[in-house]
Structure 1
């Protein structure tokens, strides 16, 4: 018997249907990003046998969730009437303090945020009772698994199974997500992503937020979300979420770019034996430079929709920064917010914080080159 190492979209669709017993995907707009991704995975990613199997399972799971989303909406049409208000999308290059700021703000009783267990498993399993026990159990197992990843990911981005997590993981189900070229060498997909109309994906992000809010109506609060991915679609975010402000975290790309290249190299090694750190570093350096130039254009058109936060301030005076951001969002901070911020900072001291070592030359970069390439950004925001 011949074993193929190529992923096949019709087979993935059939596998998801077999897994769920469902067949209605609704609008098939997602086929274009899925087709582009699968082609790139087959032709560029150099997947190992294990990488191929893990990727096949992951894509099948994402498609299964699409089927479950449509089934849930058919069975509970009121979910589409849930009013979602996104107060902020926190954006910034990796290693700019965006995770600390996100988790700090998410502690406020005035807002809500996507949690790690629910972005991994947003839809109740059949027969699952109140409180999502099965999904939470699986999320805890996932956290244990991620803690075993090689040095890189865990040191760069601490995962807490019941803590705030990036909403880009919900976008993974649209196949329009920075996750994919962070996990695999798929530059043609990355090029497509930067030029694509992400409007349909963000309309679905709203639907996923509706599902989460519908499951727990007490969370009918403004959402504070976060991911570097949103830098690729700033105008789309602002168009889709009328009340949303972009909270931009700033730090020198001399630190951010090689740090992210280090993490991508570590993650990619789980899926391919052919990982080239120099190629990865140069790819992300170019990509982040283009992304930040696009950000500058979007900001110039709607300056009132942006809030700036500098990394040094987040580290030196986190509570003050969090209060200032809430004020900018029209949610003035009070004593309850201050208490929540202090409680989170105490908790944060107990979370995993490993050392993360990297150097620009490891990724085909130099500090001088990074300073030159990102001077247009640093001279304005740093």
Structure 2
């Protein structure tokens, strides 16, 4: 039985003296969020200077305008965003340099990937983990998505540990120390299978930036522009991973990835990955929203003096609705022979049945070894390993689940197999 947690101070965080002191120390020397600060730091970090095509600067400018316009944020939040910007810019330099030196990477075939698609908090991570445990497939671990190309200025140490891995491990320890319930909501260890949208970060594209900070201007820009170039960029990074595997003496394997953003980009996904198999998860949108905004609110306790719960509710209710309306509109573009529908309740009752169905659609034979791989993962990652969070939407966000659910009648009507929670 998983230990249950309730965040009683979600809307009025009670910080420790150490947390307040840390906030104050950064406030005393606030970071500067400018294009030059980010790009100069990336050049210094890598020793490189060629960022490739300059179109990314337009997207970076939109982000910087929004980040600098958030006057409520502590300097610590701005430092967090600055570090993200530097990491993405550094990765862009390293990726472009590698592709310039090894143009043959573009010829790597990404064949028949398996892609998990669905709302955040709808079982996508669990399904990806079960599929990714199969040693015949190639997943994208967090430490590698955060830094796809090694930095020659960061050689492997005497302990043999990749500095990229060590950096993510250290960051996760800091995260747990400052926000100990993070693991119960969304564990982010170095080996965690991460979302493929992270690979668009060096192109300063993708809806992942909305999770870093509410960014309505960037959201509107993203929704109004063709995302095909950014999906092609993501695919190129997958080619880099595959090329690296071969260079290290490994073999080419089919990728298994996941991302909620694909839910509103199904036509683009089909265009860029025409031979993919997609597994689309479905869940009550209210359960998704309350989980997502609770996680974000908890994560913001050291970013703002007060938590804007109504702002979070409004933004992410609208965002989930946009995802779902796009899914209802575009779902038919993926034919039956290339797709699997995964209702959340069905998945929770028999997750291995879903895994087998995805394998069947993907033309991946059942093997004893594959099932042993998955069984080993399940044994080492029991449900509720880090505890289970108890949500209270009405107390924390001032809206009843039934009232909020009315907004998503269209979704239940489109997918009758989805169970609507009883009032």
- Structure 2 distance, partners of 1:6, 1:33, is 18
Residue 49 of structure 1: CA displacement?
1.3
Deviations 1:361-381 (A, max 9, x none): 222432123321111112333
- Structure 2 distance, partners of 1:86, 1:259, is 32
Is 1:377 aligned to residue 411 of structure 2? yes
SS at match of 1:23: coil
Matches within 5 A, 1:300-315: 300-304=332-336, 305-315=338-348
Q: 1:351 to 1:70 in 2, by over 3 A?
A: farther
Matches within 5 A, 1:358-377: 358-361=391-394, 362-377=396-411
Instruction: Return the match for 1:135 from 140, 160, 164.
Output: 164
Instruction: Return the match for 1:298 from 326, 330, 333.
Output: 330
Task: Determine if contact 1:282/1:363 at 8 Å carries over to the other structure.
Answer: no
For the aligned residue pairs, the C-alpha RMSD in angstroms reads 2.3
Residue 55 of structure 1: CA displacement?
1.6
Task: Determine if contact 2:94/2:151 at 8 Å carries over to the other structure.
Answer: no
- Structure 1 distance, partners of 2:270, 2:397, is 34
**Aligned twin of 1:201:** 230
- Structure 1 distance, partners of 2:298, 2:189, is 20
> Higher mean Cα deviation, 170-179 or 317-326?
170-179
Task: Determine if contact 1:166/1:227 at 8 Å carries over to the other structure.
Answer: yes
Task: Determine if contact 1:279/1:363 at 8 Å carries over to the other structure.
Answer: no
Residue 298 of structure 1: CA displacement?
1.2
Residue 89 of structure 1: CA displacement?
1.9
- TM-score normalised by L of structure 2: 0.84
- Structure 2 distance, partners of 1:84, 1:91, is 18
Instruction: Return the match for 1:58 from 84, 89, 97.
Output: 84
> Higher mean Cα deviation, 156-165 or 321-330?
156-165
Matches within 5 A, 1:250-261: 250-261=282-293
Task: Determine if contact 1:282/1:365 at 8 Å carries over to the other structure.
Answer: no
Deviations 1:311-351 (A, max 9, x none): 12222211121011111112132222211121111111288
- Structure 1 distance, partners of 2:148, 2:317, is 33
SS at match of 1:63: helix
Residue 241 of structure 1: CA displacement?
0.9
**Aligned twin of 1:70:** 96
- Structure 2 distance, partners of 1:219, 1:32, is 38
Q: 1:272 to 1:175 in 2, by over 3 A?
A: farther
- Structure 2 distance, partners of 1:28, 1:258, is 39
Equivalenced residues, count: 381
SS at match of 2:116: strand
Give 5+ residue unaligned stretches, structure 1: none
SS at match of 1:333: coil
Instruction: Return the match for 2:207 from 169, 172, 178.
Output: 178
Deviations 1:250-299 (A, max 9, x none): 11112111110111112233433353012101211111112111111111
Q: 1:251 to 1:152 in 2, by over 3 A?
A: farther
Is 1:154 aligned to residue 183 of structure 2? yes
SS at match of 2:138: coil
- Structure 2 distance, partners of 1:351, 1:366, is 26
Is 1:283 aligned to residue 309 of structure 2? no
- Structure 2 distance, partners of 1:211, 1:351, is 35
Is 1:335 aligned to residue 368 of structure 2? yes
SS at match of 1:308: strand
Greater Rg by CA: 2
Instruction: Return the match for 2:151 from 108, 117, 125.
Output: 125
